[in-house]
Amino acid sequence: MNRIKFLLISMVTLSTISMAEIKVAYLAGGCFWCTESDMEKVPGVVDVISGYSGGHVENPTYDQVSSGTTGHFESIEVKYDSDKISYSQLLHSFLKVINPTDDNGQFVDRGYQYSPAIFYQNTNEENLAKKALKQIQKEGHFAEINVKLLPFNKFYAAEKYHQDYYKKNPIRYKYYRYRSGRDQFLEKVWGNN
């Protein structure tokens, strides 16, 4: 009898897990090492990949994108479980780990390729992104919001050494992050949230 009970519980659990819908969002918030690290900590996020979006060159390299000549943003592909976090909640979390007022880069990283952007894949995402930007402004921390809303076109994964950089190179990453001023800004605006 206990075996049958165990099998039934297992089947229900497995069918619930397999029904979870994994969705994908594309975001840019400056250094992708930092946005990858921050977004991987958000409950409901399944995976984050660093890469490039929004440009006019096929299969760009880091050197090409960082030169500012390809039109790409350093961006992230965020896979999330929509049963655990909505697109709106995901955007709200994202907007709290960037400087949404700076449209010419983020922190020490300067240039178009480091500016914040939300890449929407459909009209619903576009509308939710507009609402998220209005909401973050309503919270009263910022006088002006300068996050670009752009239609998603393509995403190119960055080179392997950029993936999970904060895990593979923790000392270098922590040093870079501290020197960037990102955490100091976020703590000043949001506190230890």
pLDDT at 192: 73
Residue 155 CB neighbour total at 10 angstroms: 18
In a domain, 75, yes or no: yes
Catalytic residues: 31
**CATH assignment of the domain containing 153:** 3.30.1060.10
* Number of domains present in the structure of the chain: 1
pLDDT of residue 49: 99
Q: What pLDDT digit, counting tens, does each position of 5-47 carry?
A: 544 455 555 544 556 799 999 999 999 999 999 999 999 999 9
Domain with 137, as residue range(s), is: 21-190
Classify residue 94: in a domain, yes or no.
Answer: yes
Do the domain assignments include residue 87? yes
pLDDT tens per residue across span 127-179 = 999 999 999 999 999 989 999 999 999 999 999 999 999 999 999 999 999 99
* CA gap 126, 91 in Å, rounded: 11
Residues 112, 68 contacting (CB under 8 angstroms): yes
The dihedral through the CA atoms of 56, 59, 32, 172 has a sign that is negative
Per-residue model confidence (pLDDT) at position 7: 47
* Contact criterion met (CB below 8 Å) for 162 and 32: yes
The alpha carbons of the chain give a radius of gyration, in whole angstroms, of: 18
Max CA distance (Å), the chain = 67
10 domain residue, yes or no: no
Cβ 80 vs Cβ 27: under 8 Å:
no
The gap from C-alpha 71 to its chain's centroid, in whole angstroms, comes to 19
State how far the Cα of 22 lies from the Cα of 82, in Å rounded to an integer: 6
Q: Tell me the HSE value of 63 on the side-chain side, using a 13 A CA sphere.
A: 0
In this structure, is residue 2 part of a structural domain?
Answer: no
Region label for 127, one of left (φ > 0), alpha (ψ between -120 and 50) or beta (otherwise):
alpha
* Model confidence pLDDT, tens digit, residues 62-119: 999 999 999 999 999 999 999 999 999 999 999 999 999 999 999 999 999 999 999 9
Q: CB of 42 within 8 A of CB of 84?
A: no
